[in-house]
C-alpha cells in the first residue's frame, strides 16, 4: 500500500543500485528500507536526497545521536509515522536508551504546548531575545 | 500588541510574584520575558506551565543544551516566532555556537523535507523498524 | 504589506459591495475587515467563502460562542496570526471573558502536547475508542 | 474504523442521494468514495462541501490537473493519508505520470525544507518581494 | 506496534499503579488506555502529564464538554489519529451527539481553510482587532 | 531582526560569493535575497541548498510556473511568511496573474479544509484509490 512501486534491489537499474550499495555500506547494513525503494522511482531524486542525508547527518558541530533525536522530534511534531519509526530505530542504534527517548518526547510535547500558548497569546518578542 | 495584558512585576499579585521570583532565581536573570507576563493572567496556569518547564528542561537523561536545541527544532517546525527567538537565545546562553545553530537548522530542514516525501509516497513502515 | 490589493468599499464593484453590505448587516458593524477586502480580488471566491462562514458559524447544534472559541483553538494551533486576532475579537464580542480565553489556551496547549506524545510513542488506538 | 457511520447509497436519504448522484455524474464514475459517505451524516454539510469542491476544482485560471496536484501537495504537507491517496488517484486520472508525481514530491519536500530554514533563521522579508 | 513497551496494570510498578488507579477512579472506568500505558515507561512523566490533564480538563470557566470538543478540534487539525479517536470517544461520553460532532468538524474544516487564505494573502491585522 | 548575521556580498567569503554569483546569474537579477544571506553563515549549507533549489525547480516533467505555485501552496499551508512572499513574487515573475493567484489560494484553502474533515472523520481509504 504505497503510492509508487517499491523497487527491490534485484530489479533496480544500475544507477539505483549504486545508491543502494552506498546506503548499505555507509550504514553497515544489508538491506534497504522502503523510503529509498520508493524514491528510486526517480533515480536522480534518490541520489540527491541520499547525498543530502549523508552530508547533513554526518558528524559535524553536532553529535550524530543528537541529530538523530532532532529528526525524531521533528517527525513526531509533524506526525510522520514512517519517519518516527525509522529515525527512532536509527537513534536507538546510535545509543538512545528508553529513558532518553521518553525524555525527548517530554521536551517535544512541552515545546508543542508552549508554541501554541505563544501563538495564541501573541505577546511580542522581548528585545533581549533579538541578537 | 498581545491578546492579553502583559503583567509587569510591579503590578503582579503575590501569587504571580512567587513564580516570577522563582523564574529569575532559577535562570539567574533579573527580568521576566513576555511569555510568563502573558500567562500571568491566569496565575494557576502560570504556576503549572512554569513547573513543567522547570521539571522537563532540567538535566536528566539528556543534556540541557540538547533539550534546548530540540525546543528550537520544534519551534522552527511549527513556525512559532516567539519560541524560536526565545529558545535560540536560551540555547546560545547554554553554549550553542553559530556553527551548531546552522547545523541544527540543516537537520530540521532535512527532516521536514523527508517527512513530506514519506507522507506523500506512503510506503509502509519496514518490519525492521518496529520494536 | 499584503500580497494582493486591499479593496476598499468605495472602490469595490457592485458584486463585491453586495457581499460587503451583507457582512456588515449580519455582524451589526459598519466596517469590513481586511480578510474580506483581500478576498474581494476574486468576487466569486469572496461570495463563496462568506456564504460558508455565514452558514457554518450560525447557531446550530453548537453555540456560536463555542464555535468561535473552536476557531481560535484551530488558529492558534496553526499559528495564523490574523485569524487568532480576528476570532479572539469575535469570541470576546460573543461573551468570552479573559478567564475563558486563558482556559481555552490551556486546553489548546495541552492538546498540542499530548498529540505529539501520541504521535511520537505510536501506541495503537484502543478497541474501546473505535465506534 | 471510522468515527461516524459510512452511509451507503442504498440506505441514504433522498437529500443525500441527490448529491451522490451529482458526484457520480460529474466525475463519470459509478461509486461514491468514503469521504462523502462520512459527510453524509450531515446532509447539509455534504451538499455544501461538494458544491465547493465542484466550484473550486472546475477549470478556471488554472488547469484542473494543476489544481489536483496542488491538492496533493497540501495533503502530503499536512500528512493527510486519506487525501493523499484520493487526490493522487484523482491527479493520475487527469494525466499525472509517475515522473510528474515524483517531481511534485521533490518540490513539496524542498518547500517544506526551506520553509523551516526561513522560519528558523527568521530573516526579514526583502522589500523587493513586497508588492 | 508501538515505539515503547505497553505497560499493563499487572506488571506496573507501585508508582505507576497509583496513577493508573487515579485515572480509573477519576473517569469512573475500569481500564487504562494505551496512551497512559506507553507514558508509564517514564513514571514521573506519566504522573506529570496525568496531573495536567486532570487539572486542565476539570470544570472551570469552560464546560468540560466544550473542552473535550476543543481537544478534538486540535487533534483533527494536527492529524493525530490516536487523539482524535480517544477524545471523540471522550466527548461522546460527555454528551456530544452526532449532529454536534459533524458541526464541530464543519467549524474545524472552515477554520483550517480560512487560516490558509489569511496566511497566503497576508493582509495586515486590522487595528480594530488589537486589544 | 534575524537570528543570524545577514551576510552582504561585499563582506562575503570567496566561497560564498561563488554561490551568490550563480544565484544572480541563474535568476537574471542583480541582488541576493535575505534567505541566502542568512544561509551564508554556513557556506556549505548555502551551496547545498542552492544546488537543490536549482535542480528541483528547473524545467522537468512539470512546468516551472506550476512548481513555483506548488511552492506557494506549501508555504501558505505551513504559514511561512518569508516563503509566501518570496515564492509569490517568483511565481508572478514567471507569469502568475492575480486571477491565478486567487484561484491557487482557493484550492489551498479547500484542501486544508477537507484534509481536516478526513483527519477528523477518519474514514478508511477506499480500495479504489490504492494503486
Domain assignment present for F129: no
Q: C68-101 burial string, b = 16+ CB within 10 Å, else e? A: bbbbbbbbbbbbbbbbbbbbbbbbbeeebeeebb
Instruction: Tell me if D109 and A80 make a contact (CB, 8 A cut-off).
Output: no
Domain assignment present for C131: no
CA distance to partner chain C, nearest, from residue F108 (Å): 13
Q: Count of C–F CB contacts within 8 Å?
A: 21
CA distance to partner chain D, nearest, from residue C130 (Å): 6
Instruction: Tell me if B130 and E1 make a contact (CB, 8 A cut-off).
Output: yes
Neighbours of chain A (3+ CB pairs under 8 A): B, C, D, E, F
Residue F1 pLDDT: 76
Q: Which domain holds residue F44?
A: 1-56
Domain closes at, from B56, B84, B102: B56
Nearest one of A36, A66, A41 to A52, comparing CA atoms:
A36
List Cα–Cα distances, E78 to A85, B61, C112, E53, in angstroms: 18, 28, 8, 18
C-alpha to C-alpha distance for E123 and E8, rounded to whole angstroms:
52
Domain assignment present for F128: no
Evaluate if residue D36 carries a pLDDT over 80: yes
CA geometry: angle A100, A105, A109, nearest 5 deg: 150
Q: Are residues A82 and A35 in the same domain?
A: no
- Per CB-CB distance under 8 Å, the chain B contacts of F80 are 79
**D6-19 pLDDT, tens digit each:** 999 999 999 999 99
Three state DSSP letters for chain D = CCCCCCCCHHHCCHHHHHHHHHHHHHHCCCCCCHHHHHHCCCHHHHHHHHHHHHHHCCCCCCCHHHHHHHHHHHHHHHCCHHHHHHHHHHHHHCCCCHHHHHHHHHHHHHHHHHHHHHHHHCCCCCHHHCC
Query: D4, D7, D38, D48: best mutation site toward chain C, by most C Cβ within 10 Å?
Result: D48
What are the residue ranges in chain F where pLDDT is below 50? none
- Per CB-CB distance under 8 Å, the chain B contacts of E44 are 55
Residues 66-125 of D with CB under 8 A from F: 66-67, 69-71, 73-75, 77-78, 80-83, 85-89, 97, 99-100, 102-104, 106-108, 110-125
Q: Are residues E63 and E119 in the same domain?
A: yes
Domain assignment present for F44: yes
C-alpha to C-alpha distance for F116 and E102, rounded to whole angstroms:
12
Residue E122 pLDDT: 98
Percentage of the residues of chain F whose pLDDT score is greater than 70: 100
Q: Are residues B93 and B131 in the same domain?
A: yes
* Smallest CA–CA distance from D40 into chain E, residue: E102
C-alpha cell recorded at residue F127: 480500495
- Per CB-CB distance under 8 Å, the chain C contacts of E127 are none
Domain assignment present for E129: no
Residues 6 or more apart in contact with residue A73 via CB below 8 angstroms? A104, A107, A108, A111, B70, B73, B74
Q: Are residues F63 and F118 in the same domain?
A: yes
- Per CB-CB distance under 8 Å, the chain B contacts of E131 are 2-4
The minimal CB distance from E4 to the residues A85, A98, A109 is found for A98
Number of domains in chain F: 2
Residue C1 pLDDT: 76
CA distance to partner chain C, nearest, from residue B81 (Å): 9
Nearest one of E108, D43, E19 to C66, comparing CA atoms:
E108
Domain closes at, from C56, C79, C96: C56
- Mean pLDDT confidence for B55-70: 97
Residue D1 pLDDT: 76
Write out chain C's pLDDT in tens, 131 residues: 799 999 999 999 999 999 999 999 999 999 999 999 999 999 999 999 999 999 999 999 999 999 999 999 999 999 999 999 999 999 999 999 999 999 999 999 999 999 999 999 999 999 999 99
Q: Are residues F47 and F95 in the same domain?
A: no
Nearest one of B3, F41, F47 to D120, comparing CA atoms:
F41
Q: Are residues D64 and D52 in the same domain?
A: no
Domain containing residue D113: CATH number:
1.20.1290.10
C-alpha torsion angle, residues A90, A95, A97, A103 (rounded to 10): -80
Instruction: Tell me if B109 and F49 make a contact (CB, 8 A cut-off).
Output: yes
pTM for the predicted model, two decimal places: 0.98
Q: Are residues D82 and D125 in the same domain?
A: yes
List Cα–Cα distances, E47 to C67, E24, E32, E51, E59, in angstroms: 32, 14, 14, 6, 20
C-alpha to C-alpha distance for B30 and F102, rounded to whole angstroms:
49
- Per CB-CB distance under 8 Å, the chain F contacts of E96 are none
Domain assignment present for E45: yes
CA distance to partner chain F, nearest, from residue E117 (Å): 6
pLDDT category of residue A106 using cuts at 50, 70 and 90: very high
Domain assignment present for C96: yes
Domain assignment present for A110: yes
* Smallest CA–CA distance from F69 into chain E, residue: E120
ipTM of the complex as predicted = 0.97
The minimal CB distance from E42 to the residues A79, A88, A102 is found for A102
Residues 6 or more apart in contact with residue B42 via CB below 8 angstroms? C99, C102, C103, C106
* Smallest CA–CA distance from B72 into chain D, residue: D120
Query: A2, A42, A56, A130: best mutation site toward chain D, by most D Cβ within 10 Å?
Result: A42
Q: Are residues B69 and B112 in the same domain?
A: yes
Average pLDDT, chain D: 97
- Per CB-CB distance under 8 Å, the chain F contacts of C130 are none
* Smallest CA–CA distance from E110 into chain D, residue: D49
Instruction: Tell me if B102 and F3 make a contact (CB, 8 A cut-off).
Output: no
Q: Are residues A52 and A72 in the same domain?
A: no
Evaluate if residue E1 carries a pLDDT over 80: no
Domain closes at, from A34, A56, A78: A56
Q: Are residues E116 and E63 in the same domain?
A: yes
Instruction: Tell me if A117 and C105 make a contact (CB, 8 A cut-off).
Output: yes
C-alpha torsion angle, residues E10, E13, E14, E19 (rounded to 10): -80
- Mean pLDDT confidence for E42-49: 98
Q: Helices in chain C by DSSP H: which ranges?
A: 14-27, 34-39, 43-56, 64-78, 81-93, 98-121
C-alpha cell recorded at residue C88: 479572539
- Mean pLDDT confidence for D98-121: 98
C-alpha cell recorded at residue D86: 484520493
Residue A116 pLDDT: 98
Residue F90 pLDDT: 97
- Per CB-CB distance under 8 Å, the chain A contacts of C105 are 116-117, 120-121
Residues 6 or more apart in contact with residue F29 via CB below 8 angstroms? none
pLDDT category of residue A121 using cuts at 50, 70 and 90: very high
Instruction: Tell me if A80 and D79 make a contact (CB, 8 A cut-off).
Output: yes
- Per CB-CB distance under 8 Å, the chain E contacts of F117 are 105, 108-109
Q: Are residues A118 and A67 in the same domain?
A: yes
C-alpha to C-alpha distance for A78 and C119, rounded to whole angstroms:
8
Average pLDDT, chain E: 97
Following DSSP, what letter does each residue of B33-93 receive, concatenated?
Answer: -HHHHHHTTSHHHHHHHHHHHHHHTSSSSS-HHHHHHHHHHHHHHHT-HHHHHHHHHHHHH
Neighbours of chain E (3+ CB pairs under 8 A): A, B, C, D, F
Residue A1 pLDDT: 76
Q: Are residues C95 and C45 in the same domain?
A: no
Residues 6 or more apart in contact with residue D123 via CB below 8 angstroms? F2, F4, F6, F34, F35, F37, F38, F82
**B83-123 pLDDT, tens digit each:** 999 999 999 999 999 999 999 999 999 999 999 999 999 99
Return the SS3 of E87. helix
* Smallest CA–CA distance from E5 into chain B, residue: B131
Amino acid at each position: 500500500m504505497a503510492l509508487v512501486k517499491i523497487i527491490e534491489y534485484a530489479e533496480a537499474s544500475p544507477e539505483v543500485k549504486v545508491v543502494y550499495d552506498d546506503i548499505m555500506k555507509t550504514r553497515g547494513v544489508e538491506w534497504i528500507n522502503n523510503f529509498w525503494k520508493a524514491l528510486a522511482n526517480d533515480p536522480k531524486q534518490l541520489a540527491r536526497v541520499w547525498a543530502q542525508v549523508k552530508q547533513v547527518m554526518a558528524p559535524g558541530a553536532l553529535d550524530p545521536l543528537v541529530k538523530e533525536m532532532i529528526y525524531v522530534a521533528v517527525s513526531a511534531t509533524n506526525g510522520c509515522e514512517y519517519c518516527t519509526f525509522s529515525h527512532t530505530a536509527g537513534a536507538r542504534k546510535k545509543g538512545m536508551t528508553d529513558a532518553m527517548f521518553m525524555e525527548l518526547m517530554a521536551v517535544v510535547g512541552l515545546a508543542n504546548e508552549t508554541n501554541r500558548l505563544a501563538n495564541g497569546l501573541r505577546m511580542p518578542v522581548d528585545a533581549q531575545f533579538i541578537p
